[in-house]
Amino acid sequence: MTDAAKPDDRAAAELRGEHWIAGEASRGGGDAFHGVDPTSSERLEPAYFDAGDAELERAALAAVSAAPRLASARADRAALLEAIADEIMALGDSLLERCERETALPRARLVGERGRTTSQLRMFAAVVRDGGYVDARIDRGDPERSPAPRPDVRRMLHPLGPVAVFGASNFPLAFSVAGGDTAAALAAGCPAIVKGHPAHPGTSELVARAITAAVKKVGLPAGVFSLLHGRGRALGAKLVQHPAIKAVGFTGSLAGGRALFDLAAARPEPIPVFAEMGSVNPVFIMPGAMRARSAAIAAGLGRSVSLGVGQFCTNPGLVFVAGEDGLEAFTASLARTLSQTPVCVMLHEGIWTDYIQRVALQRQLPGVTMIAGGPAVPFPANGSCSVKPVGLLTDLETYESSPRLLEEVFGPVTVIIKCPDVAALEAVAAGLPGQLTATVHAERGEAGDAATLARVLGERAGRVIFNGFPTGVEVCHAMHHGGPYPATTDARATSVGSAAITRFLRPVCYQDFPAALLPAELRDENPGGLLRMVDGTCTREPVTSR
Ligand code: NAP
C-alpha cells in the first residue's frame, strides 16, 4: 500500500445511497430499494433509487466524451488501474464490513477477494504498460514487387468504446464494480458504465467512490467511469440498448445473459455481449483413480462443492464414475464431508429460492437418491437464507432421461452418476452442452483413456483440469474462463486473466500511412519497445526500410 492508500475518512464516510455519474454523486431516480442482510432479512440503510433515463443519459454522454482521451493515454490508464487498487485498500474495514452485511460472505473470504480484485487491477496495469496486448503487426511495403507493388500494411488493436458492465452477485468485489470486467474495459481504453448488482448496493457505492477518487487523482476525464444502481431489469435493458454502449460484460444467470445478448443483437447496431452464465462443470473419475484414492477424491470434491456455499460458476455439479469399484467408499466419504459442512447462508433470497426449488426437483426425480444433506432451514421462518450442502446419487439411465440434471443449480449440490464403463464416460462427455470447466481424475496406468476423454472434453469446455477440482480460478495470463454456449455467449472470450482485455478491443489496419500519422505502436522506430510481428517474425527491434 502506498502512503495515499492509508485508511482515511472517505472510507469511514456514511453511505448515502448515491449513483456515481462521471465524478458526481446523485441520488435521483425512480423506485427505492435497499440492501438486505441475508442472515436475518434485515433491511439495510440507506435506500437506493433506480437510475432513470436522465442518469443513464448523463453517464452515456460523459463516457462518449471521455473515450478518445482514455484510448490514447496508455500510461495514464496503467496509473488509473493502480490508483483504483490503492483507493480500494484505503476504504479499509468499512468496505469489508458493509460487504459482509450485504452478502453473508465471511470476512476471510472477502479479504481474499479484495486481494484478488486489487491484484487483477495491478496485473492489467502491467499489461497496459507492456503494450504487447495491442498485437502490433507490420508487413513492410515493397514498391518493387512484381507484377504489382506490395502495400505497407500495419495493424493493431484499438478500444471498442464505452462498455456496460453488470456487477455479479457472487463476487461483490472481484466481479462487481471494480472487478474483472471493469478492469479489462479500462485497461483496453474503454470507459465503463457499471450497473451495480442490487444485492450489494452499499459495497458498490463505496467502490464507486474509490474509482472516482482514482480517476480524479490521475487526471483522466470523469466520464471514464459511472455507477448506476437499479433493480428490476429496466435499467439493464436500457443500458445494453443505448447507442453509446459498444460492448457488454456480464456474469449471472443463463436467463439474464441470454436476454441481454438478444437485446444487443436486436439493436440497429448490434454489439458483442460477453456473458458468463455458468455450467455444471462435470467431473469424470476413471476406474483406476477410483480404486486408488476414492476417499481422497470424495473429500476434495466435497470441499469444492461446499466452498463459498457452492456459489461459484465453477461449482462441480455432476460427477461421472465408471463401474462400482470403490464407489461405496467414495459416496460414504463424500457424504461425510458434505454433512460436516455447517449450515451456511446464501447471497440473497432470489438465489436461495432458486436453489431450494431446483434441488427439490432433482431429488424428486425417480432413480435419484440422496446421500447427504437435509431439509433446508426454512425461509423466512428464521429470516435467513440458510442451506446445507446436498449430495445425490443416480445412474446413467436416469441421467439420460432427465434433462433437468444438466441445468446449473447455483449452490452446494452435486449429483453422482454411475456409468457402466469408460466407454460410457466418453459418450457422456461427447454429449455435454458447453461448459466452463471439465475435470478428469485418472491414474498413470490409464493415460490412454484419460487422453481420449480429455480431448473430447476439450471440445466441450473452456478449461480441462487433471486430478484437481474446478473451483478456485487462478487470475493469470494463461487462464481461460469461458466456454461454448450456454456457458458463455462467446466461446472465444475469457472473463478471467489478462486475455480478458481482448474482448474490448478491435483491429484497425493502416495501409500506406505516412509515419507521422501512424500510432506510436506501429512506427518504424518502435518507441515503446513493443514486441511486434514484423514480416511474420516477432521482434522488439525497430523496422528498417527494405
Ligand atoms: P441475474 O438474475 O442473472 O442478474 C444479474 C444482473 O443482470 C442483475 O443486475 C440483473 O438486474 C440483470 N438482469 C438479469 N436479467 C435481466 C434482464 N432480462 N434484463 C435486464 N437485466 C437483467 O443473477 P443473480 O441475481 O446474481 O442471481 C440469480 C441466478 O443467477 C442465480 O440463482 C444463479 O443461477 C445465477 N448466477 C450465476 C452465476 C455464475 O457465475 N454463473 C453468478 C451469479 C448468479 P436486475 O436485478 O435489475 O434484474
Residue nearest to atom 32 of ligand 1 (CA): 351
Cell numbers for 112: 481474499
Tens digit of each residue's pLDDT (9 = 90 or more) over 497-525: 999 999 999 999 999 999 999 999 999 99
Residues 6+ apart with CB under 8 A from 427: none
Say how many Å lie between the CA of residue 229 and the centre of ligand 1: 14
Judged against a pLDDT cut of 60, whether residue 3 lies above it is answered with: no
Is residue 282 reached through a cis peptide bond, with omega within 30 degrees of 0 on the bond before it?
A: no
Cell numbers for 492: 472465444
Q: Mean pLDDT across the stretch 246-253? A: 97
Tens digit of each residue's pLDDT (9 = 90 or more) over 106-146: 999 999 999 999 999 999 999 999 999 999 999 999 999 99
Cell numbers for 452: 481420449
Q: What pLDDT does 69 receive?
A: 98
Q: What pLDDT does 199 receive?
A: 97
| % of the chain surpassing 90 pLDDT | 92
Q: Tell me which H or E stretch contains 63.
A: helix 53-72
Q: What pLDDT does 546 receive?
A: 63
Judged against a pLDDT cut of 80, whether residue 380 lies above it is answered with: no
Judged against a pLDDT cut of 50, whether residue 254 lies above it is answered with: yes
Active site (catalytic) residues = 276, 313
Residue nearest to atom 14 of ligand 1 (CA): 256
Residue nearest to atom 40 of ligand 1 (CA): 313
Atom of ligand 1 nearest to the CA of 196: 9
Q: Tell me which H or E stretch contains 352.
A: helix 349-363
Is residue 198 reached through a cis peptide bond, with omega within 30 degrees of 0 on the bond before it?
A: no
Say how many Å lie between the CA of residue 171 and the centre of ligand 1: 12
Q: Mean pLDDT across the stretch 514-543? A: 97
Measured distance CA(14)–CA(69) in Å, rounded: 33
Residue nearest to atom 43 of ligand 1 (CA): 252
Judged against a pLDDT cut of 70, whether residue 395 lies above it is answered with: yes
Query: What are the distances in angstroms from CA 441 to CA 289, 430, 527?
Result: 6, 17, 49
pTM of the model: 0.95
Burial group, residue 524, by CB count within 10 angstroms (0-12, 13-18, 19+): middle
Residue with cell 484499438: 158
Mutational test site, ligand 1, from 34, 49, 169, max ligand atoms within 8 Å of CB: 169
Residue nearest to atom 16 of ligand 1 (CA): 256
pLDDT band for position 374 (50/70/90)? low
Strand order in the sheet with 24-26: 24-26, 19-21, 225-228, 192-195, 163-166, 247-251, 273-276
Say how many Å lie between the CA of residue 240 and the centre of ligand 1: 14
Q: Mean pLDDT across the stretch 6-12? A: 42
Residue with cell 429470516: 383
Is residue 380 reached through a cis peptide bond, with omega within 30 degrees of 0 on the bond before it?
A: yes
In DSSP notation, 403-429 reads: GGGGS---SSEEEEEEESSHHHHHHHH
Say how many Å lie between the CA of residue 298 and the centre of ligand 1: 31
Write down all domains in the chain, each with its CATH number in brackets: 54-277+488-546 (3.40.605.10), 283-466 (3.40.309.10)
Measured distance CA(315)–CA(332) in Å, rounded: 20
Q: What pLDDT does 2 receive?
A: 39
Q: Specify the 3-state DSSP secondary structure of 335.
A: helix
Q: What pLDDT does 93 receive?
A: 97
SS3 percent helix, strand, coil of the chain, rounded to 5, is: 45, 20, 35
Judged against a pLDDT cut of 50, whether residue 6 lies above it is answered with: no
Least confident of 272-286, 342-356, 389-403, 426-440: 342-356
Residue nearest to atom 30 of ligand 1 (CA): 253
Measured distance CA(546)–CA(76) in Å, rounded: 35
Q: Mean pLDDT across the stretch 29-40? A: 93
Residues in the chain: 546
Judged against a pLDDT cut of 70, whether residue 11 lies above it is answered with: no
Mutational test site, ligand 1, from 33, 227, 242, 253, max ligand atoms within 8 Å of CB: 253
Judged against a pLDDT cut of 60, whether residue 377 lies above it is answered with: no
Mean pLDDT of the chain: 94
Contact between residue 313 and residue 442 where contact means Cβ atoms under 8 Å apart: no
Rg (CA), the chain: 25
Say how many Å lie between the CA of residue 410 and the centre of ligand 1: 11
- Which residues form the pocket of ligand 1, taking CB atoms under 6 Å from any ligand atom? 166, 168-170, 195, 197-198, 230-233, 236-237, 251-253, 256, 259-260, 277-278, 313, 350-351, 354, 408, 410
Q: What pLDDT does 10 receive?
A: 44
Atom of ligand 1 nearest to the CA of 259: 18
Say how many Å lie between the CA of residue 11 and the centre of ligand 1: 28
Say how many Å lie between the CA of residue 273 and the centre of ligand 1: 14
Q: Mean pLDDT across the stretch 371-389? A: 72
Residue nearest to atom 9 of ligand 1 (CA): 197
Q: Mean pLDDT across the stretch 437-444? A: 97
Burial group, residue 144, by CB count within 10 angstroms (0-12, 13-18, 19+): exposed
Burial group, residue 86, by CB count within 10 angstroms (0-12, 13-18, 19+): buried
Q: What pLDDT does 322 receive?
A: 96
Buried b or exposed e, range 21-54, using 16+ CB within 10 angstroms: bbbeebeebbeebbbbbbbeeeebebebbbbbee
Judged against a pLDDT cut of 70, whether residue 12 lies above it is answered with: no
Q: Tell me which H or E stretch contains 463.
A: strand 461-466
Burial group, residue 401, by CB count within 10 angstroms (0-12, 13-18, 19+): exposed
